[in-house]
C-alpha cells in the first residue's frame, strides 16, 4: 500500500503543481495574448502593402467604364475618397512609429491591440485603403470570366456565376447605410458572400476579400441617385473574375 501510495501522492503533487503552472501560464498567456495575425495563406497582394501607403494610379482611364460607371464618379472616388483614406492612414501611423512595420493585413487583423489613439482611424482608413485597392483591381472594361479553381468553387457553392451575382446583389441591397458586399474565402478556400458596414474589411475577421462591391453612395450617387441595384448590376458587369481567380489560386499556392 505504502509503496504505491507514495508515488501516487507524488503524482498528485506533480499533477497539481503542473495544474497550477498551467493556470499561471494560461492566465499570463491571456494577459499577454499576441494579437491575431492574418493567416500566412491570406497574406499576399493588398494584405502585404506597407507604410508609407500610396495611392496607385488606375490602370485604365476614368471613362473606361462609361456608361455603366461614369467618369466623374471614377475620378472623384479614386482621387478624393481613396486618396483621403491613404493620407489619413499614413497620418495615423506617423504618430505610432512602432506600428509602421506591420502589413496592412496585419494592422486590420490586429485592430484590437492597436493603441486606442489610432485604432478607429486605422479601422476606417486602413479598411478604406484595402477595400478600394481591391475594388479597382477587380474591375476591367468589358469584365472577364472566372477560371480554374474559382470557376469550380463558384459552381459548387452558387450553381453558376448568375447565382453568385444574385447573392452579391442581395447582400449589397440589404446593407443599411454605407458598406460593402463581399465574396470572401477562408484559409481552406471555402467561399462565402457577406457584407460589412462602413469600411470594415474581411481581413479583420481573418478572411480573404476576393471581390467587393462598394455600396457607399459616393460610389454611385452622381449617376444612379437612390438606384443602388442598378449600380450594383453595372459594377458586376465589369467584374474582372480572371483577376479574382488568380487571387483565389494564391490561397492554394502557399
Cα separation, 189 vs 154, in Å, equals 11
In whole angstroms, give the CA distance from residue 107 to residue 122: 8
Q: How far apart are CA 95 and CA 232, in angstroms?
A: 38
Residues from 108 through 147 that contact Mn ion (CB under 5 A): none
- 3-class secondary structure per residue, 114-128: CCHHHHHHHHHHHHH
Cα(99)–Cα(49) distance, integer angstroms: 13
200 part of the interface to Mn ion, by CB under 5 A? no
Beta-carbon count within 10 A of 94 CB = 12
Q: Of 45-53, 112-120, 172-180, 208-216, which segment contacts Mn ion by CB under 5 A? A: 208-216
Question: CB of 75: closest distance to Mn ion in angstroms?
Answer: 13
Residues 209-228, interacting with Mn ion (CB under 5 A) = 214, 216, 219
| Part in contact with Mn ion (CB under 5 A); list of ranges 15-23, 32-40, 206-214, 246-254 | 206-214
Q: Which is nearer to Mn ion, 216 or 235 (CB)?
A: 216
Q: Residue count at the site for Mn ion (CB under 5 A)? A: 3
Q: Give 65 or 102: the residue with its C-beta nearer to Mn ion.
A: 65
- Min CB(187)–Mn ion separation in Å: 27
Nearest-angstrom CA–CA distance, 119 and 126: 10
Shortest distance, CB of residue 162 to Mn ion, whole angstroms? 26
State the minimum distance, in angstroms, from the CB of residue 14 to Mn ion: 60
Rank residues 124 and 250 by Cβ distance to Mn ion and give the closer one.
Answer: 124
Q: What is the secondary structure of 149-206 as a DSSP string?
A: HHHHHHHHHHSSHHHHHHHHHHHHHH--SSEEEEEEE-TT--EEEEEEETT--GGGGT
Q: 210 or 251, CB closer to Mn ion?
A: 210
Cβ(183)–Cβ(211) under 8 Å? yes
Question: Cβ closer to Mn ion: 137 or 248?
Answer: 137
- Site residues (vs Mn ion, CB under 5 A): 214, 216, 219
Amino acid at each position: 500500500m505504502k509503496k504505491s501510495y507514495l508515488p501516487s501522492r507524488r503524482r498528485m503533487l506533480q499533477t497539481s503543481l503542473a495544474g497550477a503552472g498551467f493556470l499561471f501560464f494560461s492566465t499570463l498567456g491571456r494577459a499577454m495574448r499576441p494579437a491575431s495575425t492574418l493567416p500566412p495563406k491570406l497574406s499576399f497582394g493588398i494584405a502585404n502593402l506597407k507604410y508609407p501607403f500610396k495611392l496607385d494610379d488606375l490602370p485604365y482611364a476614368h471613362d473606361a467604364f462609361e456608361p455603366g460607371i461614369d467618369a466623374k464618379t471614377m475620378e472623384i472616388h479614386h482621387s478624393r475618397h481613396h486618396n483621403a483614406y491613404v493620407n489619413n492612414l499614413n497620418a495615423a501611423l506617423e504618430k505610432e512609429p512602432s506600428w509602421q512595420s506591420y502589413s496592412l493585413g496585419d494592422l486590420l487583423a490586429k485592430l484590437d491591440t492597436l493603441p486606442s489613439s489610432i485604432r478607429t482611424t486605422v479601422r476606417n482608413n486602413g479598411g478604406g485603403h484595402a477595400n478600394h485597392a481591391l475594388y479597382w483591381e477587380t474591375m476591367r472594361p468589358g469584365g472577364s470570366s472566372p477560371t480554374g479553381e474559382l470557376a469550380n468553387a463558384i459552381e459548387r457553392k452558387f450553381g453558376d456565376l448568375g447565382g453568385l451575382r444574385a447573392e452579391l446583389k442581395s447582400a449589397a441591397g440589404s446593407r443599411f447605410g454605407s458598406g460593402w458586399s463581399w465574396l470572401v474565402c477562408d484559409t481552406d478556400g471555402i467561399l462565402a458572400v457577406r457584407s460589412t458596414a462602413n469600411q470594415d474589411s474581411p481581413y479583420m475577421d481573418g478572411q480573404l476579400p476576393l471581390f467587393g462591391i462598394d455600396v457607399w453612395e459616393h460610389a454611385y450617387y452622381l449617376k444612379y441617385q437612390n438606384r443602388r441595384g442598378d449600380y450594383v448590376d453595372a459594377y458586376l458587369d465589369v467584374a474582372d473574375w480572371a483577376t479574382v481567380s488568380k487571387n483565389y489560386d494564391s490561397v492554394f499556392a502557399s
